[in-house]
Amino acid sequence: MFEKKEYFYQQVGIAPRLFSLYSFLTILFFSGITFTFVIPGLKGFDLYSMMLALLMYFIVANVFVGLFEKRVWFVFILSLVLSNLGMWGRLWVEREEYSLVEHQNSIIYFSYPVAIALTVTIFYSILSSVRGRKSG
């Protein structure tokens, strides 16, 4: 089982640009697409979308373990910037959309990108500690 995981990290090391592009686009698009579906308590919440987003952020964190070894703050800042861009891109594209009225307040503008960055960083920390323990 651990051989498959190390093989994955070897593939990330062989094609870092491809995996970086995948990870960046995943955070960018998923933070924009799932913006109105993953905030509990607001109109449009969908548990399936939330689980799918968590799965995608887990995969991104796994790629980041292979790309950025022991760079937790870099992963946090990168995730924060990309999720912010994704959310603001969605807001800009749908700036006159009535369904976004409930999601347009400063608490959500601040907390949504931070929640995504924390989620990716927590997954990254857990996965990198497990990888360090098993390979060492």
The predicted-structure confidence for 124-133, as pLDDT tens digits, reads as follows 999 998 876 6
Q: How confident is the model over 62-119, as pLDDT tens digits?
A: 999 999 988 999 999 999 999 999 988 888 887 777 666 666 778 888 888 999 999 9
Angle of helix 72-93 versus helix 47-67 axis, rounded to 10: 140
Is the confidence at residue 135, as pLDDT, over 60?
no
Question: For residue 58, what pLDDT is reported?
Answer: 95
Kindly report the average pLDDT of the chain as a whole number.
85
CA distance 116 to 30: 10
Residue 73 has φ and ψ, to the nearest 5°, of -65, -35
pTM score, whole prediction: 0.86
